[in-house]
Structure 1
Amino acid sequence: MSATRWDVLLAIGAGGAVGSLARYGLSVAIPHARGEFAVATLLTNVLGCLLIGVLMAILTTTPRPHQLLRPFLGVGILGGFTTFSTFVTDTLDAATTGRILASLMYVLASVALCLIAVAAGLTATRALRRGHA
């Protein structure tokens, strides 16, 4: 095991704080009652996936990206911003309050839109970078 990389841990921690605060801010701006369709969580995860696609395109097309770029932006900010646990809780709340169809629609929309968002971010960013090269 290699020595602890304090710069990486600090980058992840700082990014995680920023991402978590942004997620909380979005949940306050777009609140929902228990069992209702969780628009803020869906928007958070889709936007986060889009940005993850953008980041991965940048990291894979940049010859020597800064060593802290992925830990700070990917693991920290976007890891703190996106939320699987809230997605699962919102899904369970909808199901246990009798909104089974809404729960299923939420799961399908989340998975489909997040996959599309990652692919769109990756594809669009790679295309833009090729056009500017």
Structure 2
Amino acid sequence: MLGLSTRVHRGQVRRGEATVQLGLGYRDSSLTEETRTDPAGVRAGDRTPDGRVDGVRLFDAFRGPHWTLLGPDAPELGPWARTVRGPAPEPYGPGLFLVRPEGYVGWAGDTAAGLPPYLTRLGRTAWTPGTRARSSPATVSQRSR
């Protein structure tokens, strides 16, 4: 990364696909965990694609310092996370997805029973389309750029 930014600064490389780096992934990172038995589509460690769940744009739901749990039977996790209930858009595939604040899937599983124990916290804060999370007074539309 340092070499690439140096070459861009010196004018040896033009900004383009190599500098955007949206294709980077962290599937082999210790910060990701894929527990689905038959993963399809987005996997833990992949950058999250945009989409809509109940008319709400996912990138708007992910924006902020919180984690986001996405899936049809997603439970409430606590004040550090938002819950978006509904089936994930087609590129994701089936399952539940815990999206880290920087926009990468940190965990993917078949059911909430597979959530790693260290992720569960006391407290009940859920975010569903059209409602406000207790941890943040702003609605999604107010945070949109």
Instruction: Name whichever structure is richer in strand by fraction.
Output: 2
Instruction: Name whichever structure is richer in helix by fraction.
Output: 1
Shorter-chain TM-score: which interval?
Answer: under 0.3
Higher relative contact order (CA 8 A, sep 6+): 1
TM-score by length of 2: 0.24
TM-score by length of 1: 0.25
